[in-house]
Chain A
Amino acid sequence: NAGVTQTPKFQVLKTGQSMTLQCAQDMNHEYMSWYRQDPGMGLRLIHYSVGAGITDQGEVPNGYNVSRSTTEDFPLRLLSAAPSQTSVYFCASIPQRDTGELFFGEGSRLTVL
């Protein structure tokens, strides 16, 4: 049981490049989500999914795509990176039991030059 695993942990991109941040969980959690965190801005929700095949937008979805083909994986795609997307990205999941807890990955630090 590895929890929530994010890769890569660090990435540097040039403006206009595309990339995918990977998120996987082995706990059979239905709910998964992506957040970005910028200094002084707290955690802002990008996209979330309440189960395989279901995704929805959060507070700041522009410039990001997601898909949820399996329960385990919830990748976040940047189609054309911009310097404004420089941030720390966290993936999180919720167990089916009603404990009010999100399990977070360790984060992915992305820099766009």
Chain B
Amino acid sequence: DTAVSQTPKYLVTQMGNDKSIKCEQNLGHDTMYWYKQDSKKFLKIMFSYNNKELIINETVPNRFSPKSPDKAHLNLHINSLELGDSAVYFCASSQEGNTGKRNTIYFGEGSWLTVV
């Protein structure tokens, strides 16, 4: 059973294109996230949703737009892709949107985006 699943796993696309990454979790969690891991391996939060409501929106370009149709899904749409968007994008979920000790974050396998 895959707890947090995201598609596609690999995506190669040209600059200027628009692409989406889909994410679903079957853990019954209330909070979902999008993280970006760049070539230097820094894992940075981009967005956080709690029960379909946006609670964290980091300073990412507005070309990135998350969509949460329900609390089990959080999709990421990227417009006008740029070379610098190349990275691994991880979807994740947790039971609560806080930083408590028992609030484990479960990550999807990652989506490897390469913009050429």
A and B bind:
no
A interface vs B, CB < 8 Å? none
